[in-house]
């Protein structure tokens, strides 16, 4: 784990060759949400393959590049395409970009994902502001010898998603007439979708939505001291007693349909960072 520090420095050095601003925020764009990038005033894009120690992205509908520019008037770096545990990447590699964002100077991490809704009050296409999470991935990106330069051995997790940011996102949603909930995201490794019994189990332990990403990045963000705001788009409803087979094309279509809402919320949250 102690080589992580050098890997971060290598990646930062390469990025700074192309873009020398200090980002206020890092943004991770999940499944079907990649075209939020269109809202960014792009200054530089760098393929993951050109950044030392960055993995290539293989998942469906994911590009794989770092976009540097301005969003809502703030300098940001955005990951277009993310890596997932189910692709076989180690969590340390998946979360390296978060540490790089921090090392570039970011204070805030904005994460988004597509997820399955288990709370029966949610509907397909709704947005959930992540209030808390449960890690059931069976792995943790912080396992290994701790590098105290990067963060504490035992990071506290009582508020990984800052309550003021949750409140801010909900207020913007009300103002813009967007359906937004706040709830608990449970992360599983996947890649299979859950069985009906697993949905019942995940609901019973207190989760509102389920997905296969985000939690590793958030754990690392908390470890390295970034504030976090997280958005889930509910792309299919997973109600165990009325379950239909999931369709990846439909999921992506729903994600794309909800994207303007997500864009509004992300821009709104960032715009209030300035004040």
Partner 1 sequence: MPIASSHYQQKIDEATNFVRDRVNSVPRVAIILGTGLGKLATHIKPEVTLPYDEIPHFPQSTALSHQGQLVLGTLEGIPVVAMQGRFHLYEGYSSSDAVLPVYIMQKLGAEFLVVSNASGGVNPKFTGGDIMVMNSHINLMFRRHSELGGHNAIPGSPDQPGTLIYDRELIDLALQTGREHNFYVHEGCYVSLTGPNYETRSEYRMVRKIGGDVVGMSTVPEVLTAHSLQMRVLALSAVTNIAKPDTLSETTAEEVVDIARLAEPRLTAIVISLLRTL
Nearest distance from residue 4's CB to partner 1, in Å?
12
Residue 154 or 177 with smaller CB distance to partner 1: 154
Rounded Cα–Cα distance for residues 189 and 84 (Å): 8
Rounded Cα–Cα distance for residues 247 and 230 (Å): 24
> Binding string, 205-224, against partner 1, x = CB under 8 A?
xxx-----------x--xx-
Are β-strands 209-211 and 108-117 bridged in parallel, bridged antiparallel, or unpaired?
Answer: antiparallel
Does 93 interact with partner 1 (rule: CB under 8 A)? no
For partner 1, the binding residue among 132, 194, 236, 259 (CB under 8 A) is 132
Give the binding range for partner 1 (CB under 8 A) out of 58-66, 98-106, 152-160, 233-241: 152-160
For partner 1, the binding residue among 42, 59, 134, 170 (CB under 8 A) is 134
Report CA 200 to chain centroid distance, whole Å: 25
By CB neighbour count within 10 A (0-12 exposed, 13-18 middle, 19+ buried), where does 124 fall?
middle
Contact call for residues 5 and 149 (beta carbons, < 8 A)? yes
- Neighbouring CB atoms inside 10 A of 174's CB total 10
For partner 1, the binding residue among 22, 156, 197, 242 (CB under 8 A) is 156
For partner 1, the binding residue among 26, 81, 117, 160 (CB under 8 A) is 160
Give the binding range for partner 1 (CB under 8 A) out of 64-72, 106-114, 154-162, 226-234: 154-162
Are β-strands 25-29 and 74-80 bridged in parallel, bridged antiparallel, or unpaired?
Answer: parallel
Rounded Cα–Cα distance for residues 186 and 184 (Å): 7
Does 1 interact with partner 1 (rule: CB under 8 A)? yes
Q: Considering only residues 176 through 195, tell me which ones interact with partner 1, judged by CB under 8 A.
A: 184, 186
Residue 156 or 241 with smaller CB distance to partner 1: 156
Residue 140 or 256 with smaller CB distance to partner 1: 140
Nearest distance from residue 152's CB to partner 1, in Å?
7
Contact call for residues 242 and 199 (beta carbons, < 8 A)? no
Nearest distance from residue 207's CB to partner 1, in Å?
7
Nearest distance from residue 56's CB to partner 1, in Å?
25
- Nearest to residue 215, comparing CAs of 223, 12, 26? 223
Contact call for residues 182 and 176 (beta carbons, < 8 A)? no
Contact call for residues 75 and 273 (beta carbons, < 8 A)? no
CA R_g for the chain: 17
> Could you tell me which residues come within 8 angstroms of residue 213 by beta carbon, excluding any fewer than 6 positions away?
30, 82, 84, 85, 113, 187
| Number of residues engaging partner 1 in binding (CB under 8 A) | 31
Give the binding range for partner 1 (CB under 8 A) out of 37-45, 173-181, 202-210, 232-240: 202-210
Give the binding range for partner 1 (CB under 8 A) out of 5-13, 53-61, 74-82, 143-151: 143-151
What residues line the site for partner 1 (CB under 8 A)?
1, 132-135, 138-140, 142-146, 152-160, 184, 186, 204-207, 219, 222-223
């Amino acid at each position: 784990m102690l080589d992580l520090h050098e890997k971060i420095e290598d990646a930062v050095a390469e990025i700074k060759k192309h873009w020398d601003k200090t980002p206020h925020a890092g943004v991770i764009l999940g499944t079907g949400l990649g075209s939020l990038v269109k809202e960014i005033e792009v200054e530089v894009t760098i393929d993951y393959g050109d950044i030392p120690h960055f993995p290539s992205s293989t998942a469906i509908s994911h590009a794989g590049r770092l976009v540097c520019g301005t969003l809502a008037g703030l300098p940001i770096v955005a990951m277009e395409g993310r890596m997932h545990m189910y692709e076989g990447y180690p969590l340390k590699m998946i979360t390296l970009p978060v540490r790089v964002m921090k090392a570039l100077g970011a204070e805030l991490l904005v994460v988004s994902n597509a997820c399955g809704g288990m709370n029966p009050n949610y509907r397909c296409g709704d947005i959930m502001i992540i209030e808390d999470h449960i890690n059931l991935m069976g792995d943790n990106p912080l396992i290994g010898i701790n590098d105290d330069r990067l963060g504490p051995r035992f990071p506290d997790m009582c508020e990984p998603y800052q309550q003021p940011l949750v409140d801010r996102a909900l207020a913007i949603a009300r103002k813009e007439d967007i359906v937004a909930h706040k709830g608990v995201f449970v992360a599983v490794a996947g890649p299979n979708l859950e069985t009906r019994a697993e949905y019942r189990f995940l609901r019973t332990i207190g989760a509102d939505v389920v997905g296969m990403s985000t939690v590793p990045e958030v754990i690392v963000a908390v470890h390295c001291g970034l504030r976090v705001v997280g958005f889930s788009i509910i792309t299919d409803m997973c109600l165990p007693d009325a379950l239909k087979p999931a369709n990846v094309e439909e999921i992506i279509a729903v994600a794309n349909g909800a994207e303007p809402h997500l864009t509004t919320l992300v821009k709104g949250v960032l715009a209030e960072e300035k004040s």
